Structures are given as C-alpha cells and as structure tokens.
Amino acid sequence: MPTLSFTLIQTKLFWEDRDANLGMLEKKIMAIQDRTEIVVLPEMFSTGFSMNPKKLAEQMDGVTVNWMKKIAATKKIILTGSVIIEEDGHYYNRLLWVLPDGNLGHYDKRHRFAYAGENGEYTAGHKRLIAQVKGWKINLQVCYDLRFPVWARQHSNETPEYDVLLYVANWPERRANAWKILLTARAIENQCYVVGVNRVGDDGNKIYHSGESMVIDPLGTTLYHKKDEEDIFTIVLERNALQEVREKFPFWKDADNFKIVPKDGE
C-alpha cells in the first residue's frame, strides 16, 4: 500500500505508577482525531525507566497487556510501546506490538543500558522483530539499541529487509545530541524511514528528558521534531518516496554481507 500512518505520543510519565499512566494515556489515545494506523508510546510507558522490576513487572496476561488489547480494539489501531514483563523467572524490557484483533508480537530489548544498571535487572533479548502492515515492514527496537548499528542494519542486498525503523525510548536530555544524530544516521545508512518516540519531563531519579521525538526520511531529512513539550503528532509516510530513493540511490545493493554472532554464554 502507498501510505502508512503513525501517531507519536510524546508525554510525561508518572513514576512507577501504572494506573496513573494508563489512565493518562487512554485519554490521549481516545482523543486522537486524525486517521491513524499505528500509535507509538515511549519505552516503559506504564512505569518510567525503572530498575525495580521485582516490584513492577507484569505477566503477559496482566493489566497493561490487557489494557493495550482493549485500546487497540476500541480505537482500531496497532498500539506499541515497551513495558516491564516477567516470564519464566526473568525480567524483560519488552516492546509489545498489539493488533486490533488482540493478536500481538513482542521484541525483548537486546542492548541493556549498563550505565543505569539495566543489565543487572533485565534479561537481554536475542531476536529482532520485523512486523508487517499493509505490505510495509517495520523493524522494532528500544532506546539503547540505537547505539548499535549492526543490530539495526539491513541484512540483505537482494532486497531491503524493512521500510521503517522504530525506536521507543526514555533517552535523557543530557545525551539528546547523540539521539538526534544516531536516528538520522540509521535512516541514511539503512535507506528507510526512522520513527523515534521519547518521553519528556523528569523521572523518579530527577533525570530530565527533552523528548526530541523525530521522524526522518531515507535521505536523512527531518520530517518531524518536537523538543521539551508534550505532543501528539500524526504523520503519513509515503511508500513511493521511499522506493524513489532506493531506486535512484541503490546504495543498499553494495552493502557487505554479515551475520551477528552471539556473545559467549548467550
């Protein structure tokens, strides 16, 4: 299909307060007037970026997952964002991709942010998730994954693996310059659209987040950027524009073949 619409929700979050966050986000989502197909929430949208999974983790049949299913069905959208999930005795920073019919996929954050202790509390994921919508392919990733280009890299020089690279984040303002540069680099090197959704405001550790949610086209041009303020923004991506770039500048055909080798012990 020629177009795909995303609504980005850049918002403050209530620290470690699931019910307050779900209530606030439900009001925002239900108030969306634009026609949209995919609504994107930040990383750990129900709690903030917390290193307290023993207190906050939920099961896959818990309150937040069921809330996402309800909202997706009611609004007839795909709803995505990451939450803290416990499964088989492990805690995951898990991005959920929830369809209107209740089916869902998930991606467990591969690169845990050791600087904040995430590697000590959460288990790393091992498999990428590339979702499909209307013939579009969307590579789903979380925050710190952005710093590791191999994990996002298009694997094939026969045909591009995906069309949109999506990041949900709690990325602090003090490193916002890296966020903006790396999002742009991922778009250029993978010849795809990039959608990055970040939160705003202070978290429970008094770390400020400036948002700076962005949408970038395959040439690295910024189509949307919002700093400091809460915002709800809908954008329609054009497949024809993507194909034109790939045909006019077929750099992806010259990419090196490679494979990702797991770390020892994984």
Name the pLDDT band for 155 (thresholds 50, 70, 90).
Answer: confident
Q: Determine contact, residues 51/172, Cβ cutoff 8 Å.
A: no
The pLDDT of residue 140 is 98
Domain positions in the chain: 3-254
Residue 74: its H or E element: helix 63-75
Give the residue numbers marked as catalytic.
43, 109, 143
State whether residue 181 is helix, strand or coil. Answer: helix
Write down the mean pLDDT value for the chain: 96
The pLDDT of residue 261 is 84
pTM, two decimals, is: 0.97
The pLDDT of residue 82 is 98
Beta bridge partners of 11: none
The mean pLDDT of 36-44, rounded to a whole number, is: 98
Q: Which tokens go with 143? A: 């925050």
The pLDDT of residue 156 is 73
Fold of 3-254: Nitrilase/N-carbamoyl-D-aminoacid amidohydrolase (3.60.110)
Q: How far apart are CA 13 and CA 25, in angstroms?
A: 9
Q: How far apart are CA 62 and CA 136, in angstroms?
A: 30
The pLDDT tens digits of the residues spanning 100-115 come to: 999 999 999 999 999 9
